[in-house]
Amino acid sequence: MTLRLLSVTSELHPLIKTGGLADVAGALPLALAAHEVEVRSLLPAYPQVQRALAGVRLRPVHSYKALFGGPARVLAGQHKGHDLLLLDSPSLFGARDGGPYADLAGQDWSDNWRRFAALSAVAADVAAGAIKGWSADVVHAHDWQAALTAAYVRHGRRPELPVVVTIHNLAFQGRFDATAFPELGLPQSAFAVDGVEYYGGVGFLKAGLQYADAVTTVSPSYADEIRTPEGGMGLDGLLRARGDAVLGIVNGIDTREWDPSTDLALASPYSHRALGGRTANRRALEKRFGLKRGRGPIFAVISRLTWQKGIDLILDSIDHLVGLGGRLVVLGSGDGAMENALLGAATRHPGLIGVVTGYDEPLAHLMQAGADAILIPSRFEPCGLTQLYGLRYGTVPVAARTGGLTDTIIDANDAALNAGCATGLLHQPGSGDALRQAITRAINLYAAPAIWQAIRRQGMRADWGWERSSARYAALYTDLVARAATR
Ligand code: ADP
């Protein structure tokens, strides 16, 4: 039997993306088709999304006279295999100078609670059958922006409908003042410890974790970490209390979009059988970043520039890396002080360090194809996708031993080298010394070409497509639907 799933998300690649959430919301629905799960994806009709869909026929399928302060419509359309539902609300998601969550200065939009409560309320309506001829068998809400869907479902017309909430990053919780509560349109009883109340305010993610039938996160190790006081960011107690309802399913990647043998962003295609094409990409990368030629490895960083990602640790390790003959290319955006410090390092080490600030998808692809190693010294990492792209493109990950990085990289220790299964290098998280040691280790391994090529090829052969993980999600949905039927 085909299951009808409503996926609720604030980002979906290739329409709008700030991070890995978009990649998952863009790839998982397509992979689920093989498991007889028919997905409709609901997301806000931000101006960026409307622009990306110019020329696509969008039909109004539902309307609201007043949705959290203004008129709104749900538009339906098809795009690149996605069955889209767009929440078109000019007052909430119309043109603004900035991104989906924050203004150009990085300040969160002050009405975010209203914007994403609206998305969640509409999701519950749609799932329950607001659109003629369609209702959901199961709902999948991603991150705090969609998590309140679980509360609206429980207090709505079809409270029995199974809801899965996925945590892509527990650091973003959607916490707001208690004054928001009366406007959410939930019953007063929901403002309670076992509802949306969170430390005296309103917690969107907290509510989702409380009301969801299942809570997933994006790797088994992260699922363990968030149940501890160190990794739980205030929610570990609730996550422990949810017991078996919490599980980790590692993310996959879109192997058609990220395929070095067909990628149009590359200077030259290649595969693990024919690595020769990598040289042209390396040259293109050197040119693009103004690097001098060198014998040592090129390390790459493609990242949000934040404390979580350990960018400060990289800054403290640059002289060490350069001193050992390494070079570094960075693509990132985020913290202004980190951006400036990286640009300063590039000035101090001309021809050895190149920095591009901003967001540039094709450049990210070229970097994965032309660099030798990708640095990911995250303090915590729910899953991480850059290491998976690195593995597929033969850019060996040098990463912190945390969360999904632990679950997806096999450290090149002696046992793994002897067994021929090493795919990267892992180091203790949160330590500049440990990162520098890992950089030294990578540079030494790189100097032994046969070993380095073996690590590179082993990583490239690993299969990080969505097949396994989408099957797990499909099994979870099926199980929840079966359980709901017996309630
Ligand atoms: P997170 O979601 O925490 O930012 P992930 O590793 O899960 O980290 O996903 C990051 C995604 O964003 C990857 O697809 C990566 O290639 C991409 N990315 C990050 N920064 C940039 C950038 N400045 N330009 C292009 N792509 C970027």
Q: Mind listing the pLDDT tens digit for each residue in 387-420?
A: 999 999 999 999 999 999 999 999 999 999 999 9
- Ligand 1 geometric centre to CA of 304 (Å): 6
Q: Does the Cβ of 19 fall within 6 Å of ligand 1?
A: yes
What pLDDT, on a 0 to 100 scale, did the predictor assign at position 487? Answer: 80
- Ligand 1 geometric centre to CA of 22 (Å): 9
Q: Cα-Cα-Cα-Cα dihedral of 211, 92, 361, 438, to 10°?
A: -50
Closest ligand 1 atom to 333 CA: 23
Q: How far is CA 381 from CA 63, 170, 443, 456, in A?
A: 39, 10, 24, 22
Determine the Cα–Cα distance for residues 247 and 222; give it in Å rounded to an integer: 9
- Ligand 1 geometric centre to CA of 265 (Å): 16
Q: Does the Cβ of 302 fall within 6 Å of ligand 1?
A: yes
Determine which helix (DSSP H) or strand (DSSP E) holds 436, and give its type and residue range: helix 432-446
What pLDDT, on a 0 to 100 scale, did the predictor assign at position 127? Answer: 98
Mutate which of 12, 13, 23 for ligand 1? The one with the most ligand atoms within 8 Å of its CB, which is: 23
For 266, other C-beta atoms within 10 Å of its C-beta total 23
Determine which helix (DSSP H) or strand (DSSP E) holds 442, and give its type and residue range: helix 432-446
Q: How far is CA 85 from CA 38, 343, 457, 473, in A?
A: 14, 41, 41, 21
Cβ-proximal residues to 200 (8 Å cutoff; 6+ apart), any chain = 178
What pLDDT, on a 0 to 100 scale, did the predictor assign at position 106? Answer: 87
Considering the entire predicted model, what is its pTM? 0.95
Q: Which residue has the tokens 């067994």?
A: 419
Closest ligand 1 atom to 331 CA: 23
Residue nearest to atom 24 of ligand 1 (CA): 359
Q: Does the Cβ of 394 fall within 6 Å of ligand 1?
A: no
- Ligand 1 geometric centre to CA of 60 (Å): 33
Closest ligand 1 atom to 404 CA: 7
- Grouping H, G, I as helix, E, B as strand and the rest as coil, residue 305 is strand
* Residue closest to 368 by CA, chosen among 240, 480, 479, 281: 281
- Ligand 1 geometric centre to CA of 405 (Å): 14
Residue 131 has φ and ψ, to the nearest 5°, of -90, 130
Q: Does the Cβ of 170 fall within 6 Å of ligand 1?
A: no
Q: Does the Cβ of 23 fall within 6 Å of ligand 1?
A: yes
Rounded to a whole number of angstroms, the distance between the first and last alpha carbons of the chain is: 20
The parts of the chain modelled with pLDDT lower than 50 are none
- Which long-range contacts link 183-188 to residues 24+ away (Cβ below 8 Å)? 183/68, 183/114, 183/117, 184/117, 184/121, 184/148, 185/121, 186/151, 186/152, 186/155, 187/155
What pLDDT, on a 0 to 100 scale, did the predictor assign at position 19? Answer: 87
Q: Does the Cβ of 303 fall within 6 Å of ligand 1?
A: yes
Residue nearest to atom 9 of ligand 1 (CA): 20
Q: Check: CB of residue 338 under 8 Å from CB of residue 305.
A: yes
What pLDDT, on a 0 to 100 scale, did the predictor assign at position 1? Answer: 81
Closest ligand 1 atom to 381 CA: 3
Q: Mind listing the pLDDT tens digit for each residue in 443-484?
A: 999 999 999 999 999 999 999 999 999 999 999 999 999 999
Q: Helix, strand, coil proportions of the chain in percent (round to 5)? A: 40, 20, 35
